[in-house]
Structure 1
Amino acid sequence: MIFTETELKDAYIIDLEQKQDHRGFFARTFCAKEFEAHGLKPTVAQCNLSFNYKKGTLRGMHYQILPAAETKLIRCTQGAIYDVIIDMRPESPTYLQHIGVELTAENHRALYVPEMFAHGYQTLTESAEVAYQVGEFYTPGYERGLRYDDPFFNIQWPIDVTEISEKDKNWPLMKMMTVGGNV
């Protein structure tokens, strides 16, 4: 695996180191020892799969707070997505900054999302499938979210949103969260 740190502290893009021959290729997609060597949490508590029918579907921006904060390893296994993460760690030098990364079935790229990062994505194709390895169990009482269209973050989604859940559409704006002290 090839680990490339992003502009956001502790967040990595992970590309495959492919061993190719006439049949195709073989590549390791996860190795606890390699993750630890890069200072990443290698725990996998859950594996999730998300399938999206329509191009433009948006899921996010979700995160869990301590003591149930999640790491995630995100990979698009069918189609293509634009994946966005926001650093929600007040002590981090990249606090409240975000990046977007295109993950596709063709580029085989993964995104490592550290604890206390909000995460969401938009499908760029019909029938997009996303696989997650998650480092903590989902705990509803610790779930938080941010609005995908919050002007505070000014995320530039690549296409119009065609589908979104009521929950994701109605997360509070960052301005309201900071006034209420809920960040």
Structure 2
Amino acid sequence: MIFERLDIADLLLIKPKRHGDDRGWFSEIFREDAFQREAGSVAFVQHNQSYSKPKGTIRGLHFQTDPFAQGKLVRCPRGRVLDVAVDLRTSSGTYGQHVAVELSADNGHQLWIPAGFAHGFCTLEEDCELAYMVTNYYSPQHDRGLKWNDPGLGIAWPVAETDAVLSDKDLRQPALSELGPVFS
């Protein structure tokens, strides 16, 4: 596995190696020892999967507050997405900044997003699935979000606002300036 440090501290792009022949390929998608060498001591407690049918579906930007904040290891086993992490750590020099990477079934890449970030994605084609392991259990009382198209974030989503497919919940999320401090 190749671990690539991204422009915001603590975010990692993980590129598992694929060993192939005329039958296809094999890949280790997670090794605890290698992951913990790069990301630190992390324990995953829940594995989630989402399916989005239409191209242009946006899910996010989501996070959970303490004491149920979650780190997420995200991959796209079907389709292709633009995956986004927004730094919500007020003590960070990159507070309010984001990283966007393409995750796909073809590239096999994964994104490690530690607690303290909002996460979202946009499907770049129809029939996309995202699988992610998380470091804390889902807690509806601690579930929060951030406005996906907040101009203050400057995220270049690959879909026009009028064409984006969103849930009612995601349409009602606050802008970063309305959120207040969430993580130190």
TM-score (normalizing by structure 2): 0.92
C-alpha distance in 2 between matches for 1:16 and 1:39 = 15
Which amino acid in structure 2 is aligned with residue 94 of structure 1? T
- 1:116: Cα distance to partner? 1.2
Question: What corresponds to 1:166 in structure 2?
Answer: 168
RMSD: 1.5
The CA distance in 2 between the partners of 1:3 and 1:35, in whole Å, is 9
| Residues 42 and 135 in structure 2, CA contact (< 8 A), matched pair in contact too | yes
Q: Does 1:128 align with 2:112?
A: no
Identity of aligned residues (%): 38
CA distance in 1, matches of 2:164, 2:60: 14
TM-score (normalizing by structure 1)? 0.93
Q: Matched residues in 1 for 2:5 and 2:53: separation?
A: 31
For the 8 Å contact 2:60–2:119, the answer to whether it is kept is: yes
Query: What CA distance in whole angstroms lies between the structure 2 residues aligned with 1:44 and 1:33?
Result: 13
Aligned pairs for 1:1-183 (under 5 A) are: 1-160=1-160, 161-178=163-180
- Measure, in 1, the Cα distance between the counterparts of 2:90 and 2:109: 28
Distance 2:151 2:41 in 1: 32
Q: Please tell me the residue identity of whatever aligns with 1:24.
A: G
Aligned-pair CA distance for 1:77: 0.9
Partner-residue secondary structure (3-state), 2:36: helix
SS at match of 1:38: helix
Gaps of 5+ in 1: none
Deviation at 1:12, TM superposition (A): 0.4
> Which aligned runs of 4 or more in structure 1 are off by greater than 4 angstroms?
none
* Displacement after TM superposition at 1:121 (Å): 0.3
Separation of aligned partners in 2, 1:28 and 1:42: 18
C-alpha distance in 1 between matches for 2:34 and 2:138: 25
For structure 2, the residue ranges without an aligned partner over 5 or more in a row are none
Contact conserved, 2:60 with 2:120, CA < 8 A, in 1? Answer: yes
Matches of 1:162 and 1:61, distance apart in 2: 14
